[in-house]
Amino acid sequence: MLRFTLGRLGIAALVVLVVSIIVFGLTHVAADPARAMAGENATAADVAAIRKAEGFDRPLPIQYGEWISRVAVGDFGRSYLMKEPVLGIVAHRLPVTLTLGVMALAFALAVALPLGVLAAVRQNSLIDRIALAVAVLGQALPNFWFALVLIVVFGVWLQWLPTSGADSWEHMILPAVALGYYATPALMRLTRTGMLEALGSDYIRTARAKGLLPPSVLFKHALRNAVIPVVSLAAVQFGFMLGGSIVIEAVFSMHGVGYLAWESIQRSDLPVIQAIVLMISLFYVVLTFLADLLNGWLDPRLRVAGA
């Protein structure tokens, strides 16, 4: 297990390094940091003075080395617009986005796992057809359009739930559903496929021949093996949800990291954009790493193959 963990840790560190290079390079290609810092009304002389004073005229690899060394100790610089440390700005908004992501993932798993198990147990039945319809519909609908539909139906017509803000758990319901439904089809289909393979395995037939009760065969033996790939996919989907929160937070006017990213992109606030993209990537890498460890613990064959 130690070799497996160290191997996955090395891959995760390499991914973080590559992501940091891409983030830094793309943000400097997309916008001129000196121009963004000087503002719209600055003259060419002002921009040139800022470029020289801040060291933006140096080669990009040197600037990257200085930036990543500061990031390594938690210093993401200062926002061009808010004139405050970026880390504090992002940390203030992060709880809203994390709460939204956790609730969206919980919604997706709460729908996908039972529906996937039922579709496998009742293969080619009405439930299986409903699960297939949910999968197709869920992947076909853009989440911003689905979010607007939820606002109109549950916020305007029925007036059951608030349609903007993040002041209470009730404000999180509609955004969590809008964000989580997109992950539901993939999780549900993977659960169904895994259950079908598990239920057709020899060890399940042996368990039934030994007289074990159907719930024990289904949940203790079949589901445990079927859920292994779902764990990895759920971790990946959670990373997608944190990234996808940019659209949902904008639709529901939630002041989280996603909305902050949207504001920063509009105003070319490069330090904030770099920090948000890198942090979301770090979450993504850490979650994938933890999912790999959990899969290795559940299935010893993965530890042998990955060592």
Tell me the average pLDDT across 137-153. 86
**Contact (Cβ atoms closer than 8 angstroms) between residue 144 and residue 106:** no
Say how far apart CA 132 and CA 109 lie, in whole Å.
16
**Contact (Cβ atoms closer than 8 angstroms) between residue 230 and residue 194:** yes
Say how far apart CA 255 and CA 92 lie, in whole Å.
10
247-269 b/e with 16+ CB inside 10 Å = b?
bbbbbbebebbbbbbbebbebbb
171 vs 299, more confident? 171
Q: pLDDT band at 250, cuts 50/70/90? A: confident
Phi, psi angles (nearest 5°) of residue 279 = -65, -45
Tell me the average pLDDT across 153-160. 91
Determine the pLDDT at residue 153. Answer: 93
pLDDT at 143 exceeding the cut of 70: yes
Where exactly does CATH 1.10.3720.10 map onto the chain?
A: 90-299
Say how far apart CA 302 and CA 307 lie, in whole Å.
8
Q: pLDDT band at 106, cuts 50/70/90? A: very high
Say how far apart CA 234 and CA 177 lie, in whole Å.
16
CATH of 90-299, one of 1.10.357.10, 3.30.460.20, 1.10.3720.10, 3.40.50.720: 1.10.3720.10
Q: pLDDT band at 151, cuts 50/70/90? A: very high
pLDDT at 298 exceeding the cut of 80: no
In one letter, which amino acid is 74?
A: G
Tell me the average pLDDT across 128-136. 83
Most confident of 51-55, 119-123, 217-221: 119-123
pLDDT at 306 exceeding the cut of 70: no
Helical H segments across 142-269, by residue range: 143-150, 169-180, 184-199, 202-209, 214-215, 223-226, 228-251, 257-267
pLDDT digits (tens, 9 = 90+) for 167-176: 888 889 999 9
In one letter, which amino acid is 217?
A: V
Percent of the chain exceeding pLDDT 70 equals 97
pLDDT digits (tens, 9 = 90+) for 41-53: 778 888 888 888 8
Determine the pLDDT at residue 10. Answer: 86
Helical H segments across 79-125, by residue range: 86-121
Tell me the average pLDDT across 116-137. 85
Q: pLDDT band at 301, cuts 50/70/90? A: low
